[in-house]
Chain A
Amino acid sequence: MGKLFAAAVTVIALVSAGVFISHTWWLPPDLSVLGIKIDDQIFETMIFTGTLFVAAQLALAAFVLQSSGRTGEIKLFPGGPMPMVVLATVIVGLEVLSLVFVGTKVWAKIFLAPAEANAVHIDVQAGQFAFYFRYPGPDGKFGVPHPEKIDEGNSNFFGLDPKNDTAARDDIVSASLVVPVNQPILLTMHSKDVGHSLFIPEMRLQQDFVPGLIIPVHFTATGLTKTEVVCTQLCGLGHYNMRAYVQVLSKEDYAKWLTDQASQ
C-alpha cells in the first residue's frame, strides 16, 4: 500500500509539473513591450514554486516508501512537533515574502511608472455589462463627463453634455478598443457602477476598476491583432458577457479608423 501511494504521489507530481513545463495551458503569445517582464516574473515564480512542489512531493514519496511495512516507534522531528511547525512556518513565510518582494518590483516598474509623454490617451468606462472607450476626437480634448447625464438609450454612455460643452461634441465613443501598433497607449479607467476588471491577456494587462477612482494604466502593442478584453471581476448577472474587441491596427489604418469615426 505504501509503495502504491509513493508511486501515485510521484506520478501526480511529475505529470503536474510536466503540464506546466510543456506550456499545455498557457497565456497567448505576448504582443506588448512590457509583457516580457511579466512573463519573466511568471517564469521565475513557476521555477521557484514548481521546484519546491516537486521536491516536497518526492520527499513525501521517499519517506512513505522508507517507512512502508515498518513497525515500532515513529521517529520524531528533533525537539518535537513545536519546532517543526515553527521552522515550516518560517521557511514557507520566507518563500512567500521573497516572491512578493521580487514580484512587486516588476509590477511597480510597469504600473507605477508614468506613461510616455507621446502616449495616445483613451478613456475607458466599465459598466454593467459592457466596456466603452472614448477618444478625444479631432480637437484633441475630452469633454467633461457628468454621471447624472449618462443616458444609454441615447448612446450617451459617458454622460457628456454636448449642448454646453463644445469639447464633448466631437468625442468618439467606441464599443471596441482600437489602438495603433508600436505606440504607447494610456488608458484612464473608471467604473460607472460596481467593481470590474480589464484583462487583455496578449498585452499582459490586468487591472481592476474601482468605483470612484480614475486608474491610469499603459501598454504598447507590438503586433497587429484582433483579440478580446474581458472583465475578470465578478460584477453581476451579465459578467460572463462583459467583453469587447481589442484591435491593434497599423498607424495608417488607425488614422483612417479615427477619421471614419469622427465623421459619423
Chain B
Amino acid sequence: MHMKIAASVAMCALATMALVPSTHHSAGGTVAGKVTYTGTAPKMKQIDMAKEPSCAKQHATPVMNESVVAGEGNTLGDVVVYISAGGAPSAVPSTPVTFEQKGCQYLPHVLPMQAGQQLEIKNDDQTSHNIHPMSQVNPEWNKSQPPGAPPIQTTYAKPEFIPVKCNVHPWMHGYFAVLNTSHSTVSGSNGTYSLSGLPPGKYTVTAWQERFGTQSQEVTIAGSETAKLDFSLKATEY
C-alpha cells in the first residue's frame, strides 16, 4: 500500500517535471533584435483576385505578394527566427497553432510550430479552398475545405519548411515552419523579433526567409537578460 502511494507521488512529481518546460516562456533570458537585408529586394507584384468577388471585396487596399515583406531601412518581416541548436529539448506545446484562410490569403503567411504540435486549419471565406501543403519529408496531402466546414486538425511529425498552396486559387501561398523547438517566432513588419523564456545556456539562433535562405548565430544566455542579436540576409532581386 505504502509502495503504491510512493509510486503515485513519484508519478505526480514526474508529471509536474514534464510540465515545466511548457511554462518556460514565463522566465529566463530573451534574445531580441532586428532582421534586415542587404542588396536589392525584389519588387512584389499585386495580386488580382477579381475572379473571386467574395474575397476581393474584403480588401480595401491592393493585396501584394507576401514572399518578401520589406520595410523602410531594409527591414524584413515574416522571417522565422528559432533556436536551431542548444538547450534542453523543448516539450511540445499543448496549445494548437491556427492557420486561417481569409480573404483568399493565408493568415499568417508563415506559421512556425513544433513537430508534433496540433495544427488547426480554418476556412473563414465564403468560397471553397483546397489546402495543399507540399511537404517532402512528411506525408503530402491536399484537402478540400468548403465554406463552413469544420477546421482541419493535423500534425507534422518531422521538422520541415513546407510551402502551402491552394489548389483553387493559384495566388494563395504560405509556409508551415515545422521545427524541433517551441522557441520560435516570426519577425514583425518592422523586422523586429523577440524570443523569450530561454533557460541559461548556449544557443544557435537561426533566421529563415523563404526566398533569401537562412542565417545562424550563436548566443549565450546566463540569466534573465536580453541578448541583442540582429540578422542580415542577402537579398536576391530575381
B and A form one assembly: yes
Q: Which A residues form the contact surface with B (CB < 8 A)?
A: 127-130, 152-155, 157, 161-163, 173-176, 237-238, 241-245, 264
**Which residues of chain B are within 8 angstroms of A155 by Cβ–Cβ distance?**
44-45, 47, 65, 171
Q: Is B173 at the interface (CB under 8 A from chain A)? A: yes
Contact of B51 among A127, A163, A244 (CB under 8 A): A244
* B130 on the A face (CB < 8 A): yes
Contact B167 A128, beta carbon cutoff 8 Å: yes
Residues of A within 8 A of B130 (CB): 237-238
Task: Give bound CA distance, A256 to B47, whole Å.
Answer: 19
Query: A153 to B168, Cβ gap below 8 A?
Result: no
Select one of B47, B48, B51, B171 contacting A243, CB under 8 A: B51
Candidate in B45, B48, B130 with the most chain A CB atoms within 10 angstroms: B48
Q: Name the CB-closest residue of A to B173.
A: A153
B98 on interface, CB distance cutoff 8 Å? no
Instruction: List 19 A–B pairs whose Cβ atoms lie within 8 Å, in order of A's numbering.
Output: A128-B170, A129-B169, A152-B165, A152-B171, A153-B67, A153-B210, A154-B211, A155-B47, A155-B171, A161-B238, A175-B48, A175-B49, A176-B48, A176-B50, A237-B167, A238-B167, A238-B168, A244-B50, A245-B51
B225 beta carbon closer than 8 Å to chain A: no
Q: Is A163 in contact with B168, judged by CB distance below 8 angstroms?
A: no
Set of chain B residues within 8 Å of A176, measured between Cβ atoms: 48, 50
Q: Chain A residues with Cβ under 8 A from B165's Cβ?
A: 152-153
Residues of B within 8 A of A175 (CB): 48-51
| Smallest CB separation, B156 vs chain A (Å) | 19
User: What's the nearest-Cβ distance from chain B to residue A37, in Å?
Assistant: 30
Pick the residue among A127, A128, A161, A264 that contacts B45 (CB under 8 A).
Answer: A264
Which of B59-86 touch A at CB < 8 Å? 65, 67
A residues less than 8 Å from B169 (CB atoms):
129-130
* B128 contact set on A, CB distance < 8 A: 238, 241
From B44, B48, B168, contact of A237 by CB (8 A): B168
Residue pair A241, B48 in contact (C-beta under 8 Å): no
Q: How far is the CA of A264 from the CA of B42 in the complex (A)?
A: 12
